[in-house]
Amino acid sequence: MRVVVPFDAREPKTRLGPVLDAAERDALARCMLRDVLVAVDALDAAVEVVATAPVDVGAGLAPHLDDPDPGRSLRSVPVTVDERPLSAVVDAAVDATVGDAGESLAVVMADLALATPAALARLVDAAGDVVVAPGRGAGTNALVVRSPAFRADFHGASYLDHRAAADAAGLTLRTVDSRRLSTDVDEPADLVEAYVDGGEATAAWLTDRFEVAVDEAAGRVSLARR
């Protein structure tokens, strides 16, 4: 199996603007990428980052961790720079992997801070021509493609679009029921999940800066600056 992790290296996580400045958004995005790559590393797969600009996936991803070798096996993850829209990147990967090489392709978003090897194993072990891990707001957070007939559509409500695309092509589509894979970190409200159950680099970065704040009246839990 081949696993592609798309990463926006230029202006990542703009919707976190209300709570994080640009440098912080960049740092958090790299922590999440690091945690996703660590989780993906447990799969028996050829992993590749496809980024919109060059990115150092070695020690540079999580310099705040007290780890003598934070890069570990990540050093060996190749990075391809590709500025095309995500759907075009994924379609090209489907053609090269599923069509030409007859392999399965998995696509795992770089902001799945809660991803674990167990959750990803459920994704790649699920049957179906197409397997989707739906995200909040009818998005597609992770995807397995086993048929070259599938075309990606990451605009808008991509979970619905991918269901329709699979239907139109006569393909079976299964979903994986995972909170960890359904939680992408896009908006300030999403940070609580990453703080509580995120991977090592993300949780440490957030814990250094934030704490849990409970608004009893509104029934809401969020993060507040320490």
Residues that bind a copy of itself (CB under 8 A): 15, 116, 118-119, 122, 133-134, 136-139, 155-157, 159-160, 177-183, 186, 189, 192-193, 196-197, 212, 214, 216, 218-222
Q: Which residue, 96 or 189, has its beta carbon nearer to a copy of itself?
A: 189
Judge contact between 222 and 211, C-beta under 8 A.
no
Least Å distance between CB 160 and a copy of itself?
7
Least Å distance between CB 4 and a copy of itself?
20
Least Å distance between CB 78 and a copy of itself?
28
Least Å distance between CB 49 and a copy of itself?
21
Residue ranges of the alpha helices (H) in 113-199?
A: 117-125, 158-168, 179-182, 191-197
Q: What residue type is assigned to position 4 of the chain?
A: V
Q: How far is it, in rounded angstroms, from Cα 218 to Cα 214?
A: 9
**Distance of alpha carbon 103 from the chain centroid:** 21
Q: Which residue, 129 or 193, has its beta carbon nearer to a copy of itself?
A: 193
Q: Which residue, 24 or 186, has its beta carbon nearer to a copy of itself?
A: 186
At 129 the three-state DSSP class reads coil
Nearest to 131 by CA among 165, 101, 172, 168: 172
Judge contact between 77 and 47, C-beta under 8 A.
yes
Q: Which residue, 94 or 130, has its beta carbon nearer to a copy of itself?
A: 130
Judge contact between 106 and 4, C-beta under 8 A.
yes
Q: Which residue, 183 or 202, has its beta carbon nearer to a copy of itself?
A: 183
Q: Which residue, 152 or 192, has its beta carbon nearer to a copy of itself?
A: 192
Nearest to 31 by CA among 115, 118, 96: 115
Strands 139-145 and 130-135: antiparallel
Least Å distance between CB 194 and a copy of itself?
11
Least Å distance between CB 131 and a copy of itself?
14
